Each structure stands twice: as C-alpha cells, then as structure tokens.
C-alpha cells in the first residue's frame, strides 16, 4: 500500500498526515466530499495556500485543497463588486482586477494566500482608513456540513454572513467570495530609516497623515525603517530593475537569509549583525501599482506571532517590547513590523470595534521562540491585545472570549452551522472550545 503523504504549511512548523486528500474540481464535487464526510462521521479541514503558522488547517482526517476552485465568476466594473472562487490566490486576483481597472482597497504584504484563507484568519494590511479583508466582503457562498450551498450576504442569512467573514472555516467551506473593490490606483512610497523615538513620539500624526504607514525595527534597536505610502493617480515611477533586485531580493532576502543563518549558528554574533542590518537599508522613493507596492517577496522562512492592540497603545507597547528584547539572553535578529487598520464590525476580526495597531514579531525558522513570543504576548495582553488567528499564540477559548464583545454571537453561529464539529480540529477546539459532537 502506498504511504500516505505528509502535508506541511509554508513555514514548515505544521506537518500532518491526513487519511484522505480531496481536490474538488467544482463546487458540486466539493459538496459531495463534505456530504460523504458527514455520512461517514468524519472531520475535514480545508487548506488554502497553507500560509498560516498556527495549526488552523491541520487535520488527521480529510484534507481538502481548494486550488481548483479559483475561477473569476463575475466582474462588475460599474459597482466594483467581483465574485471569485475561494481558492484563487490574491496574486491571481490582483492581476485579474488590474485588467478591469480595479484593485483591492487594501491588502497584506504578500499575495500568495488564497482569498478565502486570508479572510478566514482576519488577514490585514496597514492604513488607518482601511479594514482587513473580512470587512471588504459583500457576499459568500458557503458549503454546509450536508454539502448544500448557501449564498449569504447582509440580506440573506445575515447571521451566517456576518460571522463567516472571519471564522477559520468553522462555519462551512467558502467556495465563492464577492468583494467590494475600488478603481485601480498607484501608491507613492517613501521608505527610509528614522529614529524610533521620533516615530513613536509622533505616532498619531504619522498614521493620520499617510494612507498606509508602517515601520520595521530590529528588536532592541533605536532605529525604525518606515514606509509612508500615499495613494495617487500619478504616473508610475517604479524602482529600477537593478534597485528592486538589489533592495527587495538581495538585501531583504538573500543577504538577510545569510545573516540569519550566521546568527542561528553563532548567536553571539547577533549584536554585530544587527548593526549591519539596521544600517543596510537606505532611502527609497518610488510610485507603482498599488499591489506592487503592498507586496514584498518573502523568500526567507520564519515563524511569526502578531497582536492587535488599540491603536493608541502602540507607542508604549513598542517601547516595552524593545526593552524586553534588550533583556533576552539570545538576541533576535528578525525585524518587528508595526501596522494599523480601521476598526470594523466583523465579530471575530482582530480589529472588531476599534482602530487597531499591530505588532508582529518573527524569528528565523528553526530558531527557538518560546520565551520571546511569550514575552510579546504578555505585553500585548496587558494592552488588551488580540492574537492573529493564523499566527503563533497560546491563547484558548477561555482567554479569547473576553477580548471579543460578540464572542457569544459567533459561538451561536458555530453551534448552528456545525453542531457535530465536522469542520473542527484540535486548534479550533482550543481557540473556540470543543463542540458537543
Ligand atoms: C510570508 C507570510 C506573510 C504574511 N503576511 C500577512 C500580512 O501581511 N497580514 C496578515 O494579516 N497576515 C499575513 N500572513 C498570514 C496569512 O495571511 C494568513 O495566515 C492567511 O490565513 C493565509 O491564507 P491561506 O490561503 O494560506 O490559508 P490557510 O493557512 O491555508 O488557512 C487558514 C484558515 O482558513 C481556513 N480556510 C482556508 N480556505 C478556506 C475556505 N475556502 N473556506 C473556509 N475556510 C478556509 C483554513 O481551514 C484555516 O483555518 C502572512 C503569512 C506568511 C507566511
């Protein structure tokens, strides 16, 4: 008998061996896979692009991959409403939108995720006037535990729609997504090193005056690398091919990977290497298509935790994180990323009900992160922080419930949509609590 294959996520920290792999080629086939799982009393988990660091998509039973449900179903250029298959990658979606003169209003810093996977963990980019993906959704097609399809929106099955916008696949499988897009636009970007204290002292002004502001910093450093992005209709003036290759591919990926390897092998070299990295990035100014500016190649594998805080807590929390990082026995070489989003009304969105600031911390793959991530979590929790659903954390339903005012509303939707835990797994049982079964 052939050995059952292992599946792993992008970071390689989640590896599992499902009993069965299903790759439906149509919504009907997807419905049949789910109906059969229910009839035989089995569990199934959908994986999009496997870019979550948590065990959100892990299963020991039926693994469903959505790669073939990646069609563009409908594009309405007048309203900007676009309906696509849940398995389409954000990269393919961006290209298709661009052909129609449309664009995503905002997005994260990579485009490799599937759209349904990105929605499901509350994926976000940066910009105080812009929400994460969940609140950009206007309709979903959800396949339920019996294999039946539901087209849900604010008028039709509104409770299922409201909750499914961030749900880790707990309310059914998303086979179609209708997004509200915007006319395509370009971004004028300024990326430059700045003193961290100046950035934090003027935090509110910086995030209010740029459309998309964010910064990176090495843990413990006094220097920030800021990105101040403004939406514009100006003609593109992109980085030269040489500049792009040097800065985005070589410095930020190949060279950085080399430094990380050295640091992992010889931890005592970290302070010296940190100085090289902190001073390595100069000033860049360019204008390009929105999705080319939002995304950056991520060729270096890492593990990540990210916390959403009330946005005005960011300066104090970042200073606490920095002080903590300086006290670590093994210093960290991987940058911290700080971003913002508007608040929204999605029950389990990490930005639910509040303008949010995000602190994301990373370590090079294969590096121990327990102490560092636990310290970040303690600081974030003290500021009312909520962990990203797709990034590493140790929270449980018991601690998460108090962070979400509409927790019970989501729990009711889950109990209604999946009373027997067909769509559950160990991670969902941990973060949402077990279902009666
Ligand atoms: C290099 C890198 C960069 C990243 N950058 C960002 C960023 O800028 N901002 C940010 O917020 N996050 C970021 N992330 C996290 C990432 O966006 C999320 O983890 C996202 O959920 C991954 O999408 P995916 O398609 O890989 O989903 P997966 O990881 O495969 O799945 C995530 C969850 O969604 C469920 N799911 C997937 N497809 C469906 C479906 N069709 N129906 C129902 N449920 C489904 C899965 O069961 C699982 O629970 C990054 C991750 C990496 C590795």
pLDDT at position 279 over 60: no
Q: Identify the CATH number of the domain defined by range 72-183.
A: 3.30.465.10
Can you point out the beta strands (E) in 14-172?
Answer: 15-16, 20-22, 44-47, 62-65, 72-75, 81-85, 102-103, 137-143, 149-153
Classify the phi-psi angles of 237: left when phi > 0, otherwise alpha if psi is within -120 to 50, otherwise beta: beta
Query: In a mutational test of the pocket of ligand 1, which residue from 15, 123, 256 has the highest number of ligand atoms less than 8 Å from its CB?
Result: 123
Residues of the chain with pLDDT > 90, as a percent, come to 82
Cα angle vertex 137, ends 131, 139, to 5°?
165
Residue nearest to atom 10 of ligand 1 (CA): 123
Map residue 429 onto helix, strand or coil. helix
Report yes or no: 396 and 430 within 8 Å, Cβ to Cβ: yes
pLDDT at 153: 98
Q: How confident is the model at residue 1 (pLDDT cuts 50, 70, 90)?
A: low
pLDDT at position 124 over 80: yes
pLDDT at 341: 98
CB neighbours of residue 269 within 10 Å: 16
Render pLDDT for 301-350 as a digit per residue (tens, 0 to 9). 999 999 999 999 999 999 999 999 999 988 888 899 999 999 999 999 99
Residue nearest to atom 1 of ligand 1 (CA): 298
pLDDT at 343: 98
The secondary element (H helix, E strand) that includes residue 34 is helix 27-39
pLDDT at 297: 82
**Which residues pair with residue 142 across a beta bridge?**
150, 174
Give the C-alpha separation, 83 to 99, whole Å: 15
Give the C-alpha separation, 361 to 373, whole Å: 7
Mean per-residue pLDDT over the chain, rounded: 93
Residue nearest to atom 21 of ligand 1 (CA): 118
pLDDT at 332: 87
Q: The CATH number of 7-65 is which of 3.40.50.2300, 3.40.50.720, 3.30.43.10, 3.20.20.70?
A: 3.30.43.10
Q: Where in the chain is the domain with CATH 3.30.465.10?
A: 72-183
Q: How confident is the model at residue 385 (pLDDT cuts 50, 70, 90)?
A: very high
Report yes or no: 435 and 416 within 8 Å, Cβ to Cβ: no
Distances (CA, A) of 73 to 116, 152, 433: 15, 16, 36
Report yes or no: 341 and 132 within 8 Å, Cβ to Cβ: yes
Q: Where in the chain is the domain with CATH 3.40.462.10?
A: 186-387
Query: In a mutational test of the pocket of ligand 1, which residue from 16, 24, 33, 47 has the highest number of ligand atoms less than 8 Å from its CB?
Result: 47
**Which residues pair with residue 284 across a beta bridge?**
191
Q: pTM of the entire structure?
A: 0.95
Q: What is the token pair recorded at 334?
A: 């991987």
Which residues line ligand 1 at a C-beta cut-off of 6 Å? Answer: 10, 45-52, 56-57, 66, 86, 108-110, 113-114, 116-118, 120-121, 123-124, 168-169, 173-174, 298, 388, 390
pLDDT at 255: 63
Distance 120 CA to ligand 1 centre (A): 7
Query: In a mutational test of the pocket of ligand 1, which residue from 390, 418, 424 has the highest number of ligand atoms less than 8 Å from its CB?
Result: 390
Q: The CATH number of 186-387 is which of 3.40.462.10, 3.30.450.20, 2.60.200.30, 1.10.357.140?
A: 3.40.462.10
Render pLDDT for 52-88 as a digit per residue (tens, 0 to 9). 999 999 999 999 999 999 999 999 999 999 999 999 9
**Which residues pair with residue 194 across a beta bridge?**
224
Render pLDDT for 194-225 as a digit per residue (tens, 0 to 9). 999 999 999 999 999 999 999 999 899 899 99
CB neighbours of residue 421 within 10 Å: 18
Q: Where in the chain is the domain with CATH 3.30.43.10?
A: 7-65
């Amino acid at each position: 008998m052939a050995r059952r294959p292992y599946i792993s996520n992008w970071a390689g920290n989640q590896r599992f061996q499902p009993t069965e792999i299903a790759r439906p080629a149509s919504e009907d086939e997807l419905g049949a896979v789910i109906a059969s799982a229910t009839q035989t009393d089995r569990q199934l988990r959908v994986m999009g692009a496997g870019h979550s660091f948590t065990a959100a998509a892990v299963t020991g039973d039926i693994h469903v991959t959505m790669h073939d449900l990646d069609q563009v179903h409908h594009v309405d250029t007048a309203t900007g409403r676009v309906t696509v298959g849940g398995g389409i990658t954000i990269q393919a979606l961006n290209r298709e939108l661009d052909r129609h003169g449309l664009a995503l209003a905002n997005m994260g810093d990579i485009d490799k995720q599937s759209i349904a996977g990105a929605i499901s963990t509350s994926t976000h980019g940066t910009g105080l006037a812009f929400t994460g993906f969940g609140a950009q959704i206007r309709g979903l097609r959800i396949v339920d535990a019996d294999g039946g399809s539901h087209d849900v929106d604010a008028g039709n099955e509104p409770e299922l729609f409201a909750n499914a916008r961030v749900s880790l696949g707990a309310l059914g499988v998303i086979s179609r997504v209708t997004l509200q897009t915007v006319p395509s636009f370009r971004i004028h970007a300024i990326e430059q090193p700045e003193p961290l204290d100046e950035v934090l002292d003027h935090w509110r002004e910086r995030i209010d005056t740029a459309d998309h502001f964010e910064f990176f910093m090495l843990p413990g450093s006094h220097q920030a690398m800021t990105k101040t992005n403004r939406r514009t209709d100006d003609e593109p003036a992109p980085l030269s091919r040489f500049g792009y290759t040097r800065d985005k591919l070589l410095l930020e990926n190949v060279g950085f990977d080399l430094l990380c390897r050295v640091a992992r092998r010889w931890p005592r070299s970290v302070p010296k290497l940190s100085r090289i990295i902190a001073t390595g990035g100069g000033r860049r100014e360019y204008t390009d298509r929105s999705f080319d500016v939002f995304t950056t190649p991520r060729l270096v594998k890492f593990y990540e935790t990210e916390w959403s805080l009330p946005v005005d807590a960011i300066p104090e929390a970042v200073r606490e994180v920095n002080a903590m990082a300086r006290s670590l026995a093994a210093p960290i070489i991987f940058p911290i990323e700080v971003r913002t989003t508007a608040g929204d009304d999605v029950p389990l969105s990490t930005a639910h009900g509040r303008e949010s600031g995000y602190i994301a911390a990373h370590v090079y793959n294969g590096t121990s992160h327990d102490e560092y991530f636990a310290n970040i979590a303690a600081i974030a929790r003290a500021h009312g922080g909520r962990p990203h659903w797709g990034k590493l954390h140790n929270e449980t339903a018991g601690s998460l419930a108090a962070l979400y005012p509409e927790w019970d509303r989501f729990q009711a939707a889950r109990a209604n949509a999946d009373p027997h835990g067909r769509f559950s797994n160990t991670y969902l049982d941990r973060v949402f609590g077990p279902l009666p079964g």
